[in-house]
Chains A and B, each alone.
Chain A
Amino acid sequence: DIQMTQSPSSLSASVGDRVTITCRASQNISSYLHWYQQKPGKAPKLLIYAASNLQSGVPSRFSGSGSGTDFTLTISSLQPEDFATYYCQQSYSIPRMFGQGTKVEIK
């Protein structure tokens, strides 16, 4: 199985801050990497697919980069509605695996 490791596991930030979350795969997954946002009591929501493509309807302050084993999700200017938990997920192979999540909290 391909293991996905996110860092940090949590962070505190203020509105307007630039936030970066990293995800590392245990082996090369090309660009088969997606990012999801989850708010309490809700299902995860797709933000970024194939490492760097913005899902329809997602604000442009979200961006993704990387390929191979190292990936990054960036929020350019954190907004109040962005406080949530973020997950990466690989779709290179079965079983699909998720990172453990990064909780973004209000500073």
Chain B
Amino acid sequence: ETVMTQSPATLSVSPGERATLSCRASQSVSSNLAWYQQKPGQAPRLLIYGASTRATGIPARFSGSGSGTEFTLTISSLQSEDFAVYYCQQYNNWPPWTFGQGTKVEIK
């Protein structure tokens, strides 16, 4: 099983600042990595797939990078609606499809 590890667990950021979230895979997942956003009481929403491709309707302030075992999600200028939990997921080595434990982005 490919274990996904996200850091940090919690990120405190002021509105307008940049947020950088990390995700590490226990073995290579190539570029088969997705990022999801989840707000309280809501289902997750796809943000990024293929490590760096934004999903339909996702603002340009969200960007993804990386390949192999190291990945990054960057939110260039945090808006109020961006405070949420973010999960990475690998879909290269399946089954199982595996998620990171999540990074909570909170208001500083």
Q: Do A and B originate from a single complex? A: no
